């Protein structure tokens, strides 16, 4: 299973989401034994840029790190991923404009998670640590629900395969 999180610059939201998702997978009893590739990318990413200091500080507060993160642009290779989770509706629209064939695999993170409220996770870039902490909290809630949904979907697929 291959999952990519997408934002604008790939220095704040998407690397935080990927770090949280990896951590949640490791702690999930049904999913930890499965093979996952989890990446993040940006629609306007400068290749090689590090995670923003505010994002790294927010992750550190919850015992995680993405210190080795290196920003990468969202390219054609991500078309083959099983799940493309964007931070905003605008990101989703841009992905679909460039790669309409991925429509069945692309969602905003909050949409896939089934969370109420607006579909977007605001960009904390250039703001204070409180904005990064709030952003991380919003992403963490969405990731938790997304992992639950993914687990249910994989369980249903396995049951269907077993009944055929």
Q: Which backbone phi and psi does 118 adopt, to 5 degrees?
A: -65, 155
- CA 43/CA 22 separation, integer angstroms: 21
Q: Do the beta carbons of residue 58 and residue 135 sit within 8 Å?
A: yes
* 7 is an active site residue: yes
Among 7, 12, 24, 135, the one annotated catalytic:
7
* 141 is an active site residue: no
- CA 16/CA 20 separation, integer angstroms: 6
Among 123, 127, 129, 141, the one annotated catalytic:
123
Q: Torsion-angle region of residue 142: left (phi > 0), alpha (psi -120 to 50) or beta?
A: alpha
**Cβ-based burial of 132 (10 A; exposed 0-12, middle 13-18, buried ≥19):** buried
* 13 is an active site residue: yes
Q: List, by residue number, the catalytic residues.
A: 7, 13, 123
């Amino acid at each position: 299973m291959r999952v990519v999180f997408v934002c604008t610059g790939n220095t704040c939201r998407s690397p935080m989401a990927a770090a949280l998702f990896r951590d949640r997978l490791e702690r999930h009893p049904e999913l930890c034994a499965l093979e996952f590739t989890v990446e993040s990318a940006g629609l306007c990413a400068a290749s090689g840029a590090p995670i923003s200091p505010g994002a790294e500080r927010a992750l550190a507060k919850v015992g995680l790190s993405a210190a080795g993160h290196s920003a990468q642009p969202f390219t054609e290779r991500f078309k083959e991923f099983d799940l493309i989770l964007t931070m905003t509706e605008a990101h989703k629209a841009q992905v679909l404009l460039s790669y309409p064939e991925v429509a069945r695999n692309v969602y905003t993170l909050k949409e896939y998670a089934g969370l109420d409220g607006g579909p977007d996770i605001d960009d904390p870039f250039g703001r204070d640590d409180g904005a990064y902490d709030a952003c991380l909290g919003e992403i963490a809630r969405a990731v938790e629900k997304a992992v639950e949904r993914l687990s249910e979907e994989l369980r249903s697929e396995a049951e269907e395969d077993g009944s055929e």
